[in-house]
């Protein structure tokens, strides 16, 4: 089964309009308002699409999120059944503070093919296309680095690893320094961080570290279309975390998930820039229009490209 290509343009419209809605709050120091604008727009647009789409990764549970909550059904209820994963604003701080890299992100898969990730942390590792067994979360860091160095025929000192700048990563960062590996630290946005491995032009050889589980699923859905390597393992610190995971059908709390276990079958991924970053340009306002850039992938057709759109500004563009 594949997802009809006709849906690609519709989903690009969803993320581009949500990015525009959020862009009205760039630099306003209000990340909640920036997120809410994107959520409201995204929900409105998704409800116009001829599908029955269930949110499997959203803005939290019904109690926490009045819009785009996990389990919410979207669409006209006419058309195919889809799983939907959303991050209406990845990098709310970027948008609120007018910094590069704010994105609106959406992934669509056939029903039952997108992992329902709990709201918890995930230990992740990603690279470009490699041989099976070369990199593994269970390997020591120096083994993964050495293996990747040999596979790419690059000196270890020429490798670059991207990781979130967090106190929890101090030990990894120190070890990378000892190995003389180049380090790219990012303050937020670990969907974008993982996507750096998708293309040599970004000069990132590996993405690693602990970040959000839902963001891991979103990143995997894009990396799958590039035939990249991704592996993730959820971190359950409390009994509450474990109980929530059990309700989602997760019983092995130490399991490593390969990319084909996180997203199986066909998928579409869209990431539209709110503020300009390395992946895509941000929203640009013109007199009567706004322009956007969206990174889109469609696994079955091999599509992975940046789509530029110009849309007419409406009184209420949601």
| Per-residue confidence band for 111, with pLDDT thresholds at 50, 70 and 90 | very high
Intra-chain end-to-end CA distance of the chain, in Å: 31
Distances (CA, A) of 48 to 14, 76, 111, 293: 10, 6, 19, 22
Q: Would you state the structure tokens that stand for residue 9, as one six-digit string?
A: 């343009």
Residue 82 has pLDDT above 90, yes or no: yes
Q: Tell me how far apart the alpha carbons of residues 222 and 298 are, in angstroms, rounded to a whole number.
A: 8
Cβ–Cβ < 8 Å for 16, 311: yes
Residue 228 has pLDDT above 80, yes or no: yes
Inter-residue long-range contacts of 310-314, CB under 8 Å, 24+ positions, other chains counted: 310/286, 311/13, 311/16, 311/17, 311/20, 312/288, 313/285, 313/288, 313/289
What pairs with residue 269 in β-bridges?
Answer: 107, 297
Residue 317 has pLDDT above 70, yes or no: no
Average pLDDT over the chain, rounded to an integer: 94
Average pLDDT rounded to a whole number, residues 54-77: 84
Among the listed residues 18, 11, 13, the one whose alpha carbon sits nearest the alpha carbon of residue 274:
18
Give the start-to-end residue ranges of the domains of the chain.
6-114+266-312, 121-262
| Per-residue confidence band for 315, with pLDDT thresholds at 50, 70 and 90 | low
Residue 316 has pLDDT above 60, yes or no: no
Pairing of strands 73-74, 160-164: unpaired
| Per-residue confidence band for 106, with pLDDT thresholds at 50, 70 and 90 | very high
Residue 312 has pLDDT above 60, yes or no: yes
- Evaluated on CA atoms 59, 63, 68, 69, the torsion sign reads positive
Q: Which residue's entry shows tokens 């279309």?
A: 225
The 8-class DSSP code of residue 49 comes to S
Model pLDDT for residues 14-38, shown as the tens digit of each residue: 999 999 999 999 999 999 999 999 9
Cβ–Cβ < 8 Å for 184, 160: yes
Quick one: pLDDT at residue 64? 67
Q: Collapsing DSSP states into helix, strand and coil, what is residue 157?
A: helix
Q: Would you state the structure tokens that stand for residue 162, as one six-digit string?
A: 């991207």
Residue 70 has pLDDT above 90, yes or no: no
Distances (CA, A) of 128 to 209, 225, 299: 16, 11, 16
Quick one: pLDDT at residue 69? 87
pTM: 0.95
Question: CATH number of the domain at 121-262, out of 3.40.50.80, 3.40.190.90, 3.40.50.1100, 3.40.50.740?
Answer: 3.40.190.90
Q: Where are the alpha helices (DSSP H) in the chain?
A: 6-23, 31-46, 92-96, 141-152, 170-178, 190-195, 213-225, 239-247, 259-262
Quick one: pLDDT at residue 29? 98
Topology annotation, domain 6-114+266-312? Fructose-1,6-Bisphosphatase; Chain A, domain 1 (3.30.540)
């Amino acid at each position: 089964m594949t997802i009809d290509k006709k849906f690609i343009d519709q989903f690009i419209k969803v993320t581009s309009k949500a990015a525009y809605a959020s862009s009205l709050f760039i630099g306003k120091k209000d990340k909640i308002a920036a997120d809410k604008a994107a959520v409201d727009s995204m929900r409105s647009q998704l409800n116009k699409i001829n599908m029955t789409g269930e949110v499997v990764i959203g803005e939290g549970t019904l109690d926490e999120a009045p819009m785009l909550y996990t389990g919410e059904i979207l669409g006209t209820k006419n058309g195919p059944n889809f799983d939907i994963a959303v991050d209406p604003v990845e990098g709310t701080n970027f948008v609120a503070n007018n910094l590069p890299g704010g994105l609106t992100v959406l992934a669509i898969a056939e029903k039952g093919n997108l992992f329902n990730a709990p709201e918890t942390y995930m230990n992740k590792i990603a690279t470009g296309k490699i041989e099976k067994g070369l990199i593994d979360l269970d390997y020591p860091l120096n083994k993964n680095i050495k293996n990747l160095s040999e596979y790419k025929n690059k000196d270890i000192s020429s490798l670059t690893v991207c990781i979130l700048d967090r106190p929890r990563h101090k030990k990894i960062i120190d070890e990378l320094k000892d190995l003389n590996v180049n380090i790219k630290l990012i303050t937020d946005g670990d969907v974008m961080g993982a996507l750096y491995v998708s293309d040599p032009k970004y000069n990132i050889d590996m993405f690693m570290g602990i970040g959000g589980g839902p963001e891991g699923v979103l990143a995997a859905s894009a990396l799958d279309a590039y035939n990249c390597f991704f592996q993730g393992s959820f971190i359950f610190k409390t009994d509450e975390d474990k109980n929530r995971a059990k309700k989602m059908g997760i019983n092995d709390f130490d399991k490593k998930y390969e990319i084909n276990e996180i997203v199986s079958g066909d998928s579409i991924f869209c990431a539209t820039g709110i503020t300009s970053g390395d992946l895509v340009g941000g929203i640009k306002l013109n007199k009567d229009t706004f322009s956007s850039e969206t990174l889109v992938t469609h696994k079955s057709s091999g599509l992975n490209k940046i789509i530029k759109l110009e849309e007419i500004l409406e009184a209420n563009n949601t």
